[in-house]
Chain A
C-alpha cells in the first residue's frame, strides 16, 4: 500500500464517489471514529486511554490479549489449556471454514490462566469477541470448567470477563450442555467458600448470560454494555415493537437488581484488587 495514500483525497484512491468528495479521507489504522459520539480519535490516544473514547467515555471492545494486559500484572499471566482447539464435532456444514477464519483472528473464544492482579494471585478467564463473537462451544465450556476446577483445587478466586453472542449453534446440543457443565464447576468452587467475580462486557448474551456470567458472587459490568438473555432483535421479532432506548444496558440491569455495580474500565483493576483483598486473598511476594 502507498504509504502517503492518506494525504490524497479519497476520490483519487477509490474512484469518484461524489457524495464523499468533501469529506477528508481517514486511513483506518490511524484514526478511529467513536460509534457513540462520532468524534474522530487518534487510535494511539484511544489505546492509551484503555480503549475508551477520550471525548464521551464510550468503552471500545477489547481483545482478550488487551484485557489480560489491562488486568494482570506485567508478565504474570500464565496461560492454561491454550492448546485446546474447537473442532467440527457434529460435521456441521460451513463450520470448518468459520473456525479456520476465527483461528486467524484469535486463539479461542476464551483464554484462561493464573496471574497476579496488584500482586494478588487469581485465576483469570477472558472471553474474546474476535473468535466467533465469543460464542460458547465445547472448548469454551471445557476451558472455563477446568479453570474453576484448578481454582478449587488450589483455593484461588476466579475472575471472568465475559463477552459472548451466546451458545455456538454449530456445536448443537453439546454447546447447550456447556451451560450445565460450567455451572456445576462454578457451584463446586462456590461451595468450597471461594470467591468468583464476573465482569460483564459488551455484549454478554444468551447461554453465557444464562450460566456462568450471572453466577458470580459479585457481578460487575462495564458501562453501557449489552447484557441480555434474549437479544434485542429476538425480542423485537417476538413482541413486534421497538424496545426502550436503554433497555438491556448494564445500567438497566443494575437498576433492575441483577448486577452489583457498573465500573468504568479505568477503575476496573483497582476495584477487583480491592474485592480480592477484602475476601482475604493476600499479596504474593
Chain B
C-alpha cells in the first residue's frame, strides 16, 4: 500500500512539470504584459522594470529560471501588486477558498449520497421521479447564473440572507455561496449514487443477502453501500477539484476574499507569477485528491489492492 502511494507520488512529478511548461508558454503567448497599462510607460522605465524581472532574457532562459525557483519553493514576486510575493498572496486567499470549497464538498456529497440512496430504494416511485428531475436543474443552469438568481431571491427580495461580502465570523454570508457550489456537485453525486445503488440492489449477491434473512437495513448498510460507493468515490476527486476551481467564479460573484479574486485579476493583468503559482498549486491539490481517492478506492474494492 505504502509502495503504491509512493509510486503514485513519483508519477506526479512529470505531470507537475508538464503543467508548468504548458502554462508558462501559453501565458506568454497571450498578447500584452504586466506593465501595459492604460498609459504607456516611458521606454527607459519599462526597460528597467523588464530587466528587474528578467523579462528581457530569452523566453527559454526565463522558463528555466522560473522552474529552478519553484523547485526551491520560490514562486517569485507578483508583478502587479508590488509589495507581495506570489506565495504571500496565495497564503492570504487560499485558506478561505479551501474552507469554502471543502464546506460545499461535504454538504454536496452528503446531500447527494442521501438523496441518491433514497431515490434508488424507491426506484420508479415518486421520490425517485422527483429527484431525477430536480438534480437536472443545477447541472443544466451554470452556477454564475444560478448565483445571481439566489442573490436576487434570497438577498434582494426576501432579505433572508446577505447578497455578498464576507468578514470572519459572518457565516450567514457563506450560506448562498456554499449552496451554489454544492448544488451541481451534490446533483452529480446523487445521480451517480442512484445509478450505482440501483445496479447493486439488482445483483445476485444482494439476492443472496436477502435469502439469508438479514433484513432490509442490514442489507443496505453492509452489503449494498460499499460496492455502490465505488463509482461515486471515483467521481469525488475530480468533483472536489471542480469545486475548488469553480469557486473562483463564485467568489467573484459573491465578492468573497478567496484566491479567486487574485487569480482573476492576475489573469487579466498578465501577472505571470500569480497565475502560474495558483495553477501549480491547484495541480498539486488535484493530484493529492486523486491519490486520496485511489487509496479509498482500494479500501472499497478489495480487488484493487492486489494490482
A interacts with B: no
Question: Which A residues fall within an 8 A CB radius of B?
Answer: none
Question: Which B residues fall within an 8 A CB radius of A?
Answer: none
